[in-house]
Every structure is written in C-alpha cells, then in structure tokens.
Amino acid sequence: MRAFKTVRGMRDFLPEEAKMMKYIEGKARKTAELYGYREIITPVVEPYELVAAKAGEEVRARMYAFKDLGGRKVALRPEFTASVARLVATTLRNEPKPLRLFCVGSLYRYDEPQKGRFREFWQSNFELMGSEKTEADAEILLLTNHFMKSVGLKNYAFKIGHVGVLRSILSQEGLAEETQNQVMQLMDKKLHDEALKLVKDAGVSERCLDTLRKLVGLRGDAAAWVLKEMEKLVKDYEKAASAVSNLGEILKFFSESAGEISVTIDAGFARGLEYYTGIIFEVYVPELEIALAGGGRYNKLVELFGGEPTPAVGVAHGIDRMMLALQEQKTNLTAGGEKTVMVIPVNESLNSKALKISEMLRAEGISVETEVMGRKVSKALEDADRRGISHVIIVGEKELKDEAVVLRNMRKKRQSTVKIEKLAEEIRQDSS
C-alpha cells in the first residue's frame, strides 16, 4: 500500500506544536483586544489581480495562481494586506476612521522550503487605516513589541528604515516607478551592488549614486547618530529630508513609550512588497536569520483598489516563526502549573459515573480526559504520569457510597478522599 506524505513545503502540526501555535494565536487576539483592533476574516482565495497588484516581483513569481472552473484567474493569498485594503475600499469605505483591523490565518507562497520558511505559513495581521500621523506608526511598533514580549520571546530586536528616503531620491532623479521597484527588490535581497548598477544605468547624477552608496552602508543602534548622518546625506533632496524627519519623530514616540528596546536603524533597508511608502521594519531574534514580523506604512493601496485616499500602516507577525523561535529559546509555556485531570473508574460498571463526573468538571471549565481503554488503575496511572496529567480522580465503589472519590496529585504523589461536590474547588486550590 502506498504511504502518503504531505505536499512539499506543507507540514502537520502534532498536538504539542498545535498547542504552541494556538497559544501564540491567543496572545495575538489578546493584543488585538488590548489595542482596540476588530477581527475580520477574509477568503483564502482572491482574484489574482488584487493580490498581484503591489506584491512585488518576488512574491508574484511565487504565488499559487491558477484558473478556477469558471476560467477566472485566482490565487491563494500570499499576504493579508491586499485583502484588508480591498475591504476598506469597498464594504468598509463609509466606516468612520481610523479603522483598526485584525486577521489571522494561513498564507501561501511557493518558496524553497528551509528552516522557518514553508509554502504554507501562518500570520496575525494588524492594519491601522485612515491616519497619516506618526502616532499611528508608533502604535504598530508598540503593539508588535507588546506581542513579542507577551508570548515570552527573549532578546528580540527591531530593524527599522524608511522607504520614503530612498524612493524620494530616486523620484527626484527622474527614475520611473517600475525601475524603482526593481531597485527595491535588489536591495531587499541585499544585492546592493546590482541595485546601484541599475540606478547608474538609468542615468542618475554622480551625487545621487554617492548618496545612495553611503546610505546603503549606514546602520547602527545609536538612533540619534544614524539620523544625523542621514540628514547630512540627503540635505539636497527635500522630500528625502522630510522622510528622515518623519522617521525620527516615529522613533521618538516609540522609544519614549516602549522603554528598554533593541533597535537598529538601517538607512539602506528595503522590503520586497511594492506598496510601502514610509517607515518599514522587521523583528529578529539571535537564534534565527529570518524575520519574525514585518510591516510598514502604505498610503496608496486603498486608493489603488478604488477606495478613497486612505493612509495606512500595518504589520504581519509570523506565528509559526515565533513558535520556532520559542522552541529555539527552549521556552517553557507550561511553567504556570496548568492543571489537567484524568478520571479513572476502577471497573467497567463505574464507567457511566466516571463520564458524569468528567462532564461535571468540564462544566466548571476544567480540562478532563476520561479513561476509555479499559485499563487497570495501575496502568492508567502510568499513562497519566507519562503524559504529564496533573491530577487523577479514581472512581471506586467504596468512596461512591459516601458521594466521594479519590483525588491524586500526580506531581506531588499524594492523594485524599474528596466529596464529588467539592472536586472542582479542591482541584483549583491544590497547588501542583
């Protein structure tokens, strides 16, 4: 018989991995709640033209695109922002601004599978629509910082740049948007020499080439110094100078509100998606070379999809990448003493009573497994111990005569007889 495997680039999540994924997703939802973001659910399949419009050449080349049975060209969503922008341009166009929207789910790109990079991946997505103020950019950075901290990640660091600096210089030099997009794609891949050659071949001034060359090499964690150097380099480019000022204001808000954070300012930083117009950022941990999160400002996307001019800023957090980072950092998510219960009847005649007690405890919000394999008590206890069950309830005829059962603390190896009506209270209060 043929043994089936998962499709290349896809994977199964076993119970413990699925549990960690749901834990991170839960923290994303809590972050959305704390910051006032309302959840929306968008289709996995979208019109190809929508998701391809400003995705960038790299993403377009790796989309799962196909014709459906009606002959329409569609694609599995490679990211969330285009779908959210479509909603804001249509169904939500008359909603009062700002709009704070949150979504979570699976995305698809035909990348070469490697550590932390798969063809099906999971993200939580936050979009703040309708404000061009620097406070909005700072809010996206702050909620990302809160989210990373809340899941228990250690030593994470922000890399921050401003695509408006580079694009303003190229625009002032007369480079067409298509050429600018090609330059940004190369910079995103760290192919700076190739990017500068493309700019040179486009016929820009020597001053422009020199400025770009110096910006590409300018980065550091002393924000004030990097910003001052950027100001000096772009003094002859009015809109680029304004972009540097904008970046400085956002960083001021972020650092004053977030407290102790690790930030690197990278003047030559670019991201592959073509819709960015302002600040861009990514989050990294030392254990992984791939970004755990990324986002930035995009002020023209909603308008491109037929909506009103709507400034916007957003971020996508890689849920499965964050899970991998937590695993690399050996983070213990059950350190809080989570309580799980197994109910074991001493013989088959007590199965019905065991099920009834299990349901009673579940109604009290306690996680319960009932022994359903017909094992003897000793074997069932071994199984409970092996799987990390915190408490076992042994249902025996002798104790039932007094409307009681035996409650065993598996971690401290102690037990006592407890009235059934007091079980939930005893389990909650018992330190394990």
% of the chain beyond a pLDDT of 90:
78
In contact, 404 and 396? CB cutoff 8 Å? no
* Distance (Å) of CA 14 to CA 100, 115, 204, 337: 33, 18, 55, 22
Q: Which CATH architecture has domain 340-429?
A: 3-Layer(aba) Sandwich (3.40)
327: tokens are 């695993």
Mean pLDDT for the stretch of residues 106-128:
94
CATH of domain 15-328: 3.30.930.10
Q: For CATH 3.30.930.10, list the domain ranges present in the chain.
A: 15-328
Higher pLDDT, 338 or 72: 72
Residue 84, pLDDT above cutoff 80: yes
pLDDT tens digits, one per residue of 393-415: 999 999 999 999 999 999 899 99
Within the chain, which residue ranges are assigned CATH 3.40.50.800? 340-429
Rounded Cα–Cα distance for residues 206 and 140 (Å)? 37
Mean pLDDT, the chain, whole residue set: 93
pLDDT band at 431 (very low <50, low <70, confident <90, very high): low
pLDDT in tens, 333-388: 754 457 789 999 999 999 999 999 999 999 998 999 999 999 999 999 999 999 88
pLDDT digits (tens, 9 = 90+) for 246-298: 999 999 999 999 988 999 999 989 887 788 999 999 999 999 999 999 999 99
In the structure, what pLDDT confidence band is assigned to residue 160 with cuts at 50, 70 and 90?
very high
The pLDDT-based confidence of 204 (bands split at 50, 70, 90) is: confident
For position 382, what pLDDT does the model report?
94
Q: What is the 3-state secondary structure (H, E, C) of the chain?
A: CCCCCCCCCCCCCCHHHHHHHHHHHHHHHHHHHHHCCEECCCCCEEEHHHHHCCCCHHHHHCCCEEECCCCCEEEECCCCHHHHHHHHHCCCCCCCCCEEEEEEEEEECCCCCECCECCEEEEEEEEEECCCCHHHHHHHHHHHHHHHHHHCCCCCEEEEEEHHHHHHHHHHCCCCHHHHHHHHHHHHCCCHHHHHHHHHHCCCCHHHHHHHHHHHCCEECCHHHHHHHHHHHCCCCHHHHHHHHHHHHHHHHHHHHHCCCCEEEECCCCCCCCCCCCEEEEEECCCCCCCCEEEEECCCHHHHCCCCCCCEEEEEEEHHHHHHHHHHCCCCCCCCCCCEEEEEECCHHHHHHHHHHHHHHHHCCCEEEECCCCCCHHHHHHHHHHCCCCEEEEECHHHHCCCEEEEEECCCCEEEEEEHHHHHHHHHHCCC
As a whole number of Å, the end-to-end CA separation of the chain is 47
Average pLDDT over residues 42-55: 93
